[in-house]
Structure 1
Amino acid sequence: MSFGEAVSTVLTQKYATFSGRARRSEYWFFYLFSILVTGVLNVLMAVTGAKAISYLAILFGLALLIPSLAVGVRRLHDTGRSGWWLLIGLIPIIGAIILIVFLAGDSQPGPNAYGPPVKDVVGSPATA
């Protein structure tokens, strides 16, 4: 899945979809998108000092809250874990490290309790 496909999928097709599975590329490209846009907004805010840009950054963060949680839950589902594992990230340092390891792990092969594997879907780059 490419950068544009990942962002488009998360923001348009699966905005608040907490069921199913998400590939690593979908999760990490969406995460990269949110980091890049936040970085650009922070630089603009620092350079211009415009209060409107800070409001825009807050709105952007709020707009991405639900899809970020949804794609994180779907990514954990892809590794065979419950979405509740996202809460381990609230534990300082150790929780964040464990969560990154879970999110960066390979997909669970074959169907699991959360659905069929997304890597084996006909027409996906994995089977093409």
Structure 2
Amino acid sequence: MTFSDSIQNVLLNFAEFRGRATRSEYWYWVLFALCLQVLFQIVDGLVSAPLMGFPSFALDAGRPISVLGMVALLPPTLAVGCRRLHDVGRSGWWLLLPLIPVIGALALLWMLTRTSVERDNRFGSSVTGLQRT
């Protein structure tokens, strides 16, 4: 699956928590979301801060564009994370694991980097993750 296919699949299924997502689909989405957040931070520093009367990139200036971007990226990030966990045979509720400090985040990272379960499981077919409907 290519970068553009992965992003397109996540955006088309941004609120779909059923099915499976391949490792590449998940990590391409993480890369895309991270790049967008960096872009939002730059725009906040260059545009929003001066409009609110702060110097560019002031640490005490608000970050309205970054916050709105984070809120907009949250549903597809949770959905693809849930589908990724389904692909390794885990429930999407494991996304709450980082609530346990340090160990929880490391355990979740370990799960997200595992190889896909090569057989069908209770979450769907092993073909290519979530199929577009």
- Give the TM-score normalised by the residue count of structure 2: 0.81
- Deviation string, structure 1 residues 102-125 (Cα, Å, up to 9, x no partner): 00000011100101103499xxxx
| Residue of structure 1 equivalent to 2:66 | 57
Cα distance in 2 for partners of 1:45, 1:120 equals: 36
| Residue of structure 2 equivalent to 1:99 | 108
| Residue of structure 2 equivalent to 1:30 | 29
Residue 120 of structure 2: which of 88, 111, 123 is its match?
Answer: 111
Contact 1:24 1:106 in 2 (8 A): yes
CA RMSD of aligned residues (A): 2.1
Residue 81 of structure 2: which of 59, 72, 83 is its match?
Answer: 72
Q: Which amino acid aligns with 2:70?
A: G
Cα distance in 1 for partners of 2:28, 2:50 equals: 29
Q: Which runs of 5 or more structure 1 residues have no equivalent in the other structure?
A: 122-128
| Residue of structure 2 equivalent to 1:125 | none
Q: Which amino acid aligns with 1:99?
A: L
Alpha-carbon distance change, 22 to 50 in structure 1, aligned in 2, over 3 angstroms: farther
Give the 4+ runs in structure 1 shifted more than 6 A.
Answer: none
Count of aligned pairs: 120
Q: Which amino acid aligns with 1:61?
A: M
Moved more, 57-66 or 40-49: 40-49
Q: Does residue 13 of structure 2 align to residue 14 of structure 1?
A: yes
| Residue of structure 1 equivalent to 2:56 | none
Contact 2:19 2:129 in 1 (8 A): no
Structure with the greater alpha carbon radius of gyration: 2
Contact 1:23 1:118 in 2 (8 A): no
Cα distance in 2 for partners of 1:72, 1:118 equals: 18
Cα distance in 1 for partners of 2:87, 2:118 equals: 9
Q: Which runs of 5 or more structure 2 residues have no equivalent in the other structure?
A: 53-61
Q: Cα distance, 1:57 vs. partner?
A: 1.9
| Residue of structure 2 equivalent to 1:5 | 5
Cα distance in 1 for partners of 2:107, 2:118 equals: 21
Q: Cα distance, 1:54 vs. partner?
A: 3.0
